[in-house]
Every structure is written in structure tokens, then in C-alpha cells.
Amino acid sequence: MKTNVKRSTIKELSIWFGVIACLTISWAYFANGQRVKMVPKTGTTFDTFVEDMPPPKRLAQVEDGSGKKIVWVGETALLSLPSGPSCYVFDDTGKLIRYNISTGDGEPTTKDLVIAYRADQITIEEAKTLLNLEK
């Protein structure tokens, strides 16, 4: 009788281990896929970025010691554990100058993110006008 209980317990533990392993691998696969979609193409400009990415959660014009910039606060990757939303910073010509797909923990765009939330929100059309991209 004890042998059957041990086999049954080992079998159940093996099944649970397999389920947890499959869930972990699936989570890692989908989380990575989400994060890859958030990485802009090399040489991205505001015009192409608008076409390639989902709408921003917040968009603002900010000014720091080096001039005016447009800050695009994006999505937080689903199924991943980032410390904050994605953040993309464009210079006054519309060129992407820096970004992080997960802000926080002192990342280079964290200060831009904070300034963007303190600034007035603008629309994509207003940003294009500010960047002289409106056709």
C-alpha cells in the first residue's frame, strides 16, 4: 500500500513540475515577444515611430538644459515585470535620441519620464506641429 502512495505522490509532483515548467517557459516566450515589439528600428524618427507603435499613454514637450524634446510614454510590456512604462525621447528635429522599454531604477530616460508627467500633455498632431513635421 505504501508503494502505491509513493508512486502516486511522485507522479503528481512530476505532473505539477511539468505544468509549472511549461507555464514559466510560455511566460518567458511571450514576455520577450512583447518587449521586442517595443524596441524601435534604428534611425527612427517621430514620423515613422507614430506609424510603428501603439498610441502613447502620455506625450509631452519638455525642456531641459540641452533644449526642447518630445517625450513619448508608451505601454508597459504585458506579461513582464518592468519597473515602469516604456519611454522614448525625440530631439527638436524629430530624431529618436534615447529610449528604454522599461523605465525606473535610474535608467537614462527616467528623468525624462518624470518631467513629461509634470508637463502639459499634447497630441500627436501637436507634436508634429512642434517638430515642423506637419505636411
CA 65 to CA 52: how far, in whole Å? 30
Asked if the model's pLDDT at residue 2 lies above 70, the reply is: no
Q: Decide which of 22 and 117 is more confident.
A: 117
Q: pLDDT, tens digit, for every residue of 4-28?
A: 556 677 777 777 777 776 565 555 5
CB neighbours of 46 closer than 8 A, spacing ≥ 6? 70, 90, 94, 95, 96, 127, 128, 131, 133
On average, the pLDDT of the chain sits at 78
- With bands split at pLDDT 50, 70 and 90, how would you rate the model's confidence at 104? low
CB neighbours of 5 closer than 8 A, spacing ≥ 6? none
Q: Decide which of 87 and 16 is more confident.
A: 87
